Amino acid sequence: MGTEDASRSYARLDLWPTGDVVAAMCKVQLDAAAAVQSQVEAIARAADEAAEKLEHPSGRMVYVGAGTSGRLAVLDGVELEPTFGWSRDRMIFGIAGGLDALAGSVEGAEDDEDSARELVRSAGLDRNDVVIGVAASGTTPFTVAAVREASAAGALTVGIAGNANTPLLLAAKHPIFLDTGTELVAGSTRMKAGTAQKIALNLLSTAIMVRLGRVHDGLMVDMRVSNRKLRTRAIGIVAEIAGVEREAAEGALDLAENNIKLASLIASGTDIGEALLQVFVFGSKIDTFGSPTAALT
């Protein structure tokens, strides 16, 4: 198995000068990024179908994994609310060993297939949900069992793994194979495989949010304004979209109670009643001010 094999290139690694060790580690991180390139189309296909599912108001994003893979999955998911306004009520984290495993090892949890199946059943997953399973080996029993159970329940499944033709990739409707090969420290998939997973997860979730209309002109128009830094950023976003000075943008943001889409419409001159209709009834993507566009959740 590629992610577990030892590479003779690093057989005497512990005897190298520290600078050479760090340089080698840096190089393999770049190799990890390159490994994602071949999967761009696969990630795009998964994102398109996932966005279609998640347009339904009951659709949820479900991340499943164990160990490093599970922690990276959670890291990706928790950023979706502040960055894109994705509700935490529409997010499930299926981590082997539970959330305690985020801060420490829970021995044997990754082999617990029964708890994985129970997680899926108790969540009541259905055809509107999207399940993303992550495992460097592609064989982790917990993750594979969860993805199989989710598929049986009708959910859309995505599998991200570092070994070809493994159970996780075979179980998922959208397999994403990250061919990172051997690690500099044999079997330490927190390194090269983990980097590739982080990149793939970023690409997938961000592409989904773009397709759901939560990005406009490269700007985070559904961002949650939760501190002074983000308030300043929100003012700049409204000013850029509406083509107004920052003072006017700030006033519109006040009227909109920090809703960037609503504030952008108000700042552009749209009547506040019409703006409310567009954002909260039609779910405007702000493609064209003054008329509602494709509905969003």
The DSSP annotation for 125-150 comes to --TT-EEEEEESSS--HHHHHHHHHH
Under 8 Å between Cβ of 170 and 34: no
Q: How far is CA 125 from the centre of its chain?
A: 18
183 counts as catalytic: no
Active-site residue (options: 4, 52, 79, 240): 79
Question: Could you tell me which residues are beta bridge partners of residue 160?
Answer: 134, 176
Return d(Cα 56, Cα 151) in angstroms, integer: 18
Return d(Cα 145, Cα 167) in angstroms, integer: 9
Return d(Cα 208, Cα 223) in angstroms, integer: 15
55 counts as catalytic: no
Active-site residue (options: 110, 149, 183, 250): 110
Return d(Cα 7, Cα 116) in angstroms, integer: 33
Residue 112 φ/ψ, nearest 5 degrees: -85, 85
Q: Which residues are catalytic?
A: 79, 110
